[in-house]
Amino acid sequence: MFENKDKTPLSELGEFGLIDHLTQHFKPQRSSSIKSIGDDAAILDFKENQTLVSTDLLIEGVHFDLSYVPLKHLGYKAVMVNLSDIYAMNAEPTQITVSIAVSNRFGLEALEELYKGIHLACKKYKVDLIGGDTTSSQTGLIISVTAIGKAAHGKAIKRDTANEGDLVVVTGDIGAAYLGLQILEREKAVFKVNPNSQPDLDSYSYLLERQLKPEARNDIKMLLEALEVHPTSMIDISDGLSSEILHICKQSCKGVYIYEDKIPLDPSVIATCEEFKLDSTTVALSGGEDYELLFTIKQEDYPKIKANPNLTVIGHMAPENEGVHLITRAGTKIGLKAQGWNHMES
């Protein structure tokens, strides 16, 4: 979604000229970034900390649609997707690398917009862009971001350490990003039929922002430290609540009970589900792209979090042989399945 009428051909700059142009405003903010862009490899110095690395790939036509996703928002979101993985380890992201493959329909101005979003994300979350790669593509735009982070020894939290009886906690609210996508897809379909239509999206602003410009939960690590709560396991909600809790259950060899009436939903999610004739619980369980954090805590830590508006207890871990279940509002026990985003499905 970028009007690129007078585009500057990328061939005018060449690969290294393009890199220099797009990264000229990225200045190191971290003392651990000894050497960033401009050499064969970056040099980082974390001294006493453990280093964490995560990477994600975003492909046009699979993960995003440029008919309604602004390039600046896409650049910002590409960074958020990766920072969220680092925060989901109870760690602090410090650097990223960005690699892109572009077809000849993209000019310099389009990539400038993309990198404006990347730059905004780096500046806001205080991470350094330290390298990457550029190449051509026959199929559109491909973005690969790798995030690097640090955690003190013994502080990184994994998925395989949940215990029986632990409480299951989720940050914020979930389901909004999926509905934002449904709204965008609906308006795209309307536009195809009537290009002169002017959509009124004011009432959907929260849902659209959650889809187009999500924010990674960089506040939760500090919040939990202030509350003196150390999660026993953690994951971010990128592929849907049901998929993520199943990851924790599988890797921790545990069962779980999730309570439908405890799942946090924004009022706009409930209202829009009614409009679209969708079940709000299904949307919350399977929607994905919320980038909230899902984690477990010991029962004795419940008094420390119970009054915090950022955190909601939605269930508890159980022995593995009890299985993975949703307890409905009517008290019925239903088996949970991973019905969220499947990266291998078309």
- Say if residue 50 is exposed, middle or buried (CB neighbours under 10 Å; 0-12, 13-18, 19+): middle
Where is the domain boundary, 126, 151, 176? 151
> Do 15 and 143 lie in a common domain?
yes
Q: What CATH number should be reported for the domain holding residue 275?
A: 3.90.650.10
Q: How many domains does the chain have?
A: 2
> Do 240 and 310 lie in a common domain?
yes
> Do 40 and 127 lie in a common domain?
yes
Residue 240's pLDDT band, with cuts at 50, 70 and 90, is very high
> Do 182 and 303 lie in a common domain?
yes
> Do 192 and 310 lie in a common domain?
yes
Does a structural domain hold residue 5? Answer: no
Does a structural domain hold residue 66? Answer: yes
> Do 140 and 256 lie in a common domain?
no
Mean pLDDT, rounded, for 184-200:
89
Residue 280's pLDDT band, with cuts at 50, 70 and 90, is very high
Residues of the domain holding 308: 167-335
Question: pLDDT exceeding 70 applies to what percent of the chain?
Answer: 92
HSE, CB side, 13 Å, CA atoms: give it for residue 188.
12
The whole-chain average pLDDT of the chain stands at: 90
Mean pLDDT, rounded, for 138-159:
92
| pLDDT of 4 over the 70 cut | no
Does a structural domain hold residue 142? Answer: yes
Residue 2 has what pLDDT? 52
Residue 5 has what pLDDT? 60
Does a structural domain hold residue 3? Answer: no
Residue 346 has what pLDDT? 43
> Do 275 and 322 lie in a common domain?
yes
> Do 282 and 318 lie in a common domain?
yes
> Do 81 and 218 lie in a common domain?
no
Mean pLDDT, rounded, for 148-163:
92
